[in-house]
A and B are shown apart, each in its own frame.
Chain A
Amino acid sequence: MSDATTKTAPRSKIRAPRINDESRPFWEATTRGELLVKHCTACGENHYFPRTFCPFCFSDATEWLKCSGRGTIYTYSVTRRGEPYAIAYVTLAEGPTMLTNLIDCDFDKLAVGQAVKVKFVDTGEGSALPFFVPG
């Protein structure tokens, strides 16, 4: 196992998200180590990416829901050009599936269906990225 395939993406590759009025509560929560999705009080569905309107029933009676941070890998791919990194969709215990990166792991031992948990990495710009690690 080469070093290059096991390392976390280097600090220089941390990209701060573009934040707007609708997404600000989500990103502020990340700095407290909390992963939020939106919950619709009208139809009961959770959704991601979070928005003002429920994409299932179109009610605007949505509220923030704090997640456990646990999920499973729905799919992933290790991009090998340049320094390798693993992009993935993780299905949260609360239902929605989100785009993320898998870090601090042996990329050759990842598997669809594997259990993962959130790990926040500070961007230095008032937000933290919700990455996932095995476990």
Chain B
Amino acid sequence: MSIKGKAYIAGIYEHPLREGTGKTVPQLHAEVAKGALEDAGLHKNDIDAYYCAGDVPGMGGINQAEYMGLKLRQIDSTETGGSSYVLHVRHAAQAIAAGHCKVALITLAGRPRADAKENYSMRPGGGAPADYGFEAPFRPSIVNMYAMVAKRHMHEFGTTSAQLAWVKVAASQHAQHNPHALLRDVVTVEDVLNSPVVSDPLHRLDCCVMTDGGGAIIMVAPEIAKSLKRPRIRVLGAGEAPKHLNGGKVDLTYSGALWSGADAFAEAGVKPSDIKYASIYDSFTITVVVTLEDLGFCAKGKGGAFVADGNLISGVGKLPFNTDGGGLCNNHPSDRGGITKVIEAVRQVRGEAHPKVQVPNCNLVLAHGTGGLLGSRMGSATVILDREDA
């Protein structure tokens, strides 16, 4: 698809300041955003895509999106130095041409002169995001920021630790067939419940492994795919959505998967009940339960019952998941499991998963990634794949 004539620049703003004393970097980003919006005659709630680079503090653009109160369908923090923002124009045009967003914001801001005068350390990322000072003193950790999601889920919906444990049990059933899995021992619900509590209600076996390594993916144009002697796996639909604390209107019962999944299913023109296999990001057992609900595999609050009794085990349950053993048993390279989610989904839709876990007639699969902290700010991404030559 060409972007020719399919996207327009509607607003611009150059900050009049030349020294940013008294202003923070997130504040400067918001000021230029406000200026460009006013130039365009648009409101910040019209924005559905955000592009930024390494000058924005935090995890990609998510902390800045939170600062500005943005609700996004597209986020891109590609960093190529000073050229980033030109490249962002192209990326935004591609997204607009594809119908993935309608109003894209690109920002650049910083205060190197003020930083030098005030003896702030100069470092990539532009210093701390605005939320940092209000959270770090209370010692958030990766585990307790997911544990609080589990605690609230249990309070609102009656979810139990035994139900969460079934997610780990299913992953371990799959991992026993993966010679590369870090943990190959099959575990029971009791094993999970009897493992030490790390941050209640999460036990050690509710948590994913830590591993080194990694993964890679090659994507090609249709004509190249046809020239190769490999199954032709198509991206049918995709969605992405950051989620944050929304100015203090906190609701931890759902994740960004609610939005990224809806976009992916709509683009693919399929529904959750059509999916034969799902790779679901499993940093913790609760991550899977919340994500399955948000993607529509079951109703909100019913995720605990959905995952229980082996429903995620290949050959046993209705929704085989993470047949490589997932992050809970197999691999979570560099503390980031997104790529292994796509890789196992491709193995399944190619029919190249381990025979003990291969889903029969597996012609439609989903992979979902969760980044950051489910208990504060996070990124969600969903892809739906099929096999063209099946």
The minimal Cβ–Cβ distance linking A34 to chain B, given in whole angstroms, is: 15
CA A55 – CA B309 in complex, angstroms?
43
The minimal Cβ–Cβ distance linking B253 to chain A, given in whole angstroms, is: 10
**B250 pairs with A15, CB closer than 8 A:** no
CA A98 – CA B140 in complex, angstroms?
12
Tell me whether A68 is interfacial, beta carbon within 8 Å: no
* CB-CB contacts below 8 Å: A26-44 with B: 26-27, 37
Tell me whether A105 is interfacial, beta carbon within 8 Å: no
Contact flag A55-B246 (CB < 8 Å), given A18-B128, A75-B149, A112-B152: yes
Which residue on chain B has the smallest CB distance to residue A49? B134
Contact flag A79-B144 (CB < 8 Å), given A48-B247, A87-B139: yes
**A98 pairs with B134, CB closer than 8 A:** yes
CA A100 – CA B131 in complex, angstroms?
13
Which residue on chain A has the smallest CB distance to residue B141? A79
- Inside 8 A of B141's CB, which chain A residues have their CB? 79, 87
CA A91 – CA B252 in complex, angstroms?
13
- Inside 8 A of A26's CB, which chain B residues have their CB? 134
Contact flag A96-B247 (CB < 8 Å), given A23-B134, A80-B196: yes
Which residue on chain B has the smallest CB distance to residue A45? B247
Which residue on chain B has the smallest CB distance to residue A121? B137
Please choose the segment from B82-90, B197-205, B270-278, B341-349 that sits at the chain A interface, where 4 or more of its residues have CB less than 8 A away.
Answer: B197-205
Residue among A22, A23, A75 making CB contact with B151, cutoff 8 Å: A75
CA A112 – CA B138 in complex, angstroms?
18
Tell me whether B143 is interfacial, beta carbon within 8 Å: yes
**A53 pairs with B67, CB closer than 8 A:** yes
**A76 pairs with B151, CB closer than 8 A:** yes
Tell me whether B222 is interfacial, beta carbon within 8 Å: no
* CB-CB contacts below 8 Å: A66-105 with B: 74-81, 85, 87-89, 91, 95-101
- Inside 8 A of A23's CB, which chain B residues have their CB? 130, 133-134
- Inside 8 A of B24's CB, which chain A residues have their CB? 20-22
Tell me whether B68 is interfacial, beta carbon within 8 Å: yes
Tell me whether A118 is interfacial, beta carbon within 8 Å: no
Which residue on chain A has the smallest CB distance to residue B250? A97
Count A-B contacts at CB 8 Å.
154
Residue among A20, A47, A129 making CB contact with B137, cutoff 8 Å: A129
**A52 pairs with B30, CB closer than 8 A:** yes
**B248 pairs with A99, CB closer than 8 A:** no
Residue among A20, A58, A78, A101 making CB contact with B68, cutoff 8 Å: A58
**A77 pairs with B144, CB closer than 8 A:** yes
Which residue on chain A has the smallest CB distance to residue B33? A58
- Inside 8 A of B137's CB, which chain A residues have their CB? 14-17, 123, 129
Contact flag A89-B148 (CB < 8 Å), given A51-B130, A55-B66, A55-B247: yes
- Inside 8 A of B202's CB, which chain A residues have their CB? 77
CA A58 – CA B46 in complex, angstroms?
12
CA A88 – CA B131 in complex, angstroms?
16
The minimal Cβ–Cβ distance linking B289 to chain A, given in whole angstroms, is: 15
CA A27 – CA B137 in complex, angstroms?
12
Give the residue among A17, A20, A123 with the most B Cβ atoms within 10 A: A20
Tell me whether B22 is interfacial, beta carbon within 8 Å: yes
- Inside 8 A of B200's CB, which chain A residues have their CB? 77-78, 80
Tell me whether A109 is interfacial, beta carbon within 8 Å: no
Which residues of A come within 8 Å of B, CB atoms? 13-23, 26-27, 37, 45-56, 58, 60, 74-81, 85, 87-89, 91, 95-101, 112-113, 123, 129
Sample of 18 A–B contacts (CB below 8 Å)? A13-B139, A17-B137, A20-B128, A27-B133, A47-B248, A51-B30, A53-B67, A55-B66, A55-B67, A58-B44, A58-B69, A75-B252, A77-B148, A79-B199, A87-B140, A87-B148, A100-B138, A129-B138
Which residues of B come within 8 Å of A, CB atoms? 22-24, 26-27, 30, 34, 37, 43-45, 66-69, 128, 130-141, 143-145, 147-152, 155, 196-202, 245-250, 252, 376
List 4 extra interface pairs beyond A21-B22, A129-B137, CB under 8 A. A23-B130, A74-B252, A85-B139, A89-B252
4 closest cross-chain pairs (CB), A and B = A96-B248, A55-B69, A77-B147, A47-B247
